[in-house]
Amino acid sequence: MAASATEARHPSSAGLHARPAAEALALLLDAQAGAVQAVRDAIPALARAADAAAASLAAGGRLGYAGAGSSGLMALADCLELAGTFGIAPERTPMLFAGGAAALLHMKGSVEDDPALALADLDRAGLGAGDTLLCLSASGRTPYALSIARAARERGVTVAGLANVPGSALLELADIPVLIATGAEVVSGSTRMGAATAQKVALNMLSSLVGIRLGHVHDGYMVNVVADNIKLVDRAARIVAALARVGRDEAEAALDATAGAVKPAILVARGMTPAAAEAALRQNGGHLAPLIRWQDGSATDETPNTGERP
């Protein structure tokens, strides 16, 4: 059976075991950098996937992640970050990982070959019509990923399939195929390397665009951050101070008035009451930009309803 692209021999792998340490590490780094460059060709597909995911979340639906092995770990890492970075409740971003929590401590390859396990995980996640699923498999042929993608589509879920092999089954199955053609690994078949690195970069980009589309990023600030530790409390105050153009004390007072919620605190620091700030954000889909333009006197004909008189 012919090897897939991720199983093929890398042209620089011969003699790897005998290379001096610095030379071997440089070769490995170059391969990782090359894999990241493969993400550029996937940008149009990643944009479509991000728009689908944002639309699902904006409509009250969910964004699921699914994968096995290294691909599953990349999916899990991105999934777990959404709550803290963008304030998206974890129950709205279910993770389907082959083998579940136990596999995080001792990964077993057999779980990725079990279609029944995949379907049970999909049932548990409860994804359905209107939701979006990001399904990852480096080879694009992992049975766990394929079973989930196929069944999810049958349930009306929009499936974005991320794979590193052209023409693979996952890309054929997906509503939104995302090819990240990283090619052969320096350590043959070790897709935790180039393929996984490129997947992580792609997911970083995709979920950041989701945050932007939902209004959770403004001028590069994460304005829906959940400030649940000292570092993030400090970051929240700095964000409010910067976007409201006020001092630290005023920023902290505004955050106190909004129970730590950054978006309404920015509006409070700029002169709104907490209730009016919350209402204005609801009426504008959680987006700060039209409200800040209105407060700055640069509103268009589509002036937002803020609940207060100018």
Q: What residue type is 236 in one-letter code?
A: A
| Residues 274 and 261: beta-carbon distance below 8 Å | no
pLDDT at 49 over 50: yes
User: Quick one: CA dihedral 286, 288, 290, 295, positive or negative?
Assistant: positive
SS3 (DSSP) at 34:
helix
pLDDT at 309 over 50: no
pLDDT at 303 over 60: no
- The residues annotated as belonging to the active site are 81, 112
Say which residue, 163 or 3, is predicted with more confidence.
Answer: 163
Q: How far is CA 299 from CA 78, 83, 246, 264, 266, in A?
A: 36, 32, 21, 19, 18
pLDDT at 305 over 60: no
- Cβ neighbours of residue 18 under 8 Å, at least 6 residues apart? none
Closest CA to 191 of 19, 53, 59, 67: 67
Element containing residue 103 per DSSP (H, E): helix 102-105
Q: How far is CA 200 from the centre of its chain?
A: 9
The tokens for 168 are 């693979």
Q: What residue type is 212 in one-letter code?
A: I
pLDDT at 206 over 90: yes
Q: What is the pLDDT of residue 184?
A: 80
Q: What is the pLDDT of residue 2?
A: 45
Tokens 């350590």, residue? Answer: 187
pLDDT at 299 over 80: no
Closest CA to 118 of 64, 68, 81: 68
- Burial class, 182, CB count within 10 angstroms (exposed 0-12 / middle 13-18 / buried 19+): buried
Q: What is the pLDDT of residue 114?
A: 82
pLDDT digits (tens, 9 = 90+) for 71-103: 999 999 999 999 989 999 999 999 999 887 777
Q: What residue type is 188 in one-letter code?
A: S
Q: What is the pLDDT of residue 18?
A: 76
Q: What is the mean pLDDT of the chain?
A: 89
Q: How far is CA 58 from CA 21, 146, 178, 259, in A?
A: 50, 27, 22, 23
pLDDT digits (tens, 9 = 90+) for 212-255: 999 999 999 999 987 778 898 899 999 999 999 999 999 999 99
SS3 (DSSP) at 293:
helix
> Can you give the pTM of this predicted structure?
0.89
Q: What is the pLDDT of residue 300?
A: 52
Q: How far is CA 199 from CA 162, 204, 206, in A?
A: 8, 9, 10
Q: Hey, what domains does the chain have and what are their CATH numbers?
A: 30-213 (3.40.50.10490), 217-295 (1.10.8.1080)
Q: What is the pLDDT of residue 199?
A: 97
pLDDT digits (tens, 9 = 90+) for 121-141: 999 999 999 999 999 999 999
pLDDT at 304 over 90: no
In the structure, what pLDDT confidence band is assigned to residue 310 with cuts at 50, 70 and 90?
A: very low
| Residues 185 and 47: beta-carbon distance below 8 Å | no
Q: What percent of the chain has pLDDT over 70?
A: 90
In the structure, what pLDDT confidence band is assigned to residue 298 with cuts at 50, 70 and 90?
A: low
Q: How far is CA 302 from CA 172, 201, 264, 282, in A?
A: 42, 36, 20, 16
In the structure, what pLDDT confidence band is assigned to residue 294 with cuts at 50, 70 and 90?
A: confident
User: Quick one: CA dihedral 220, 223, 226, 229, positive or negative?
Assistant: positive
Q: What is the pLDDT of residue 1?
A: 38
SS3 (DSSP) at 186:
coil
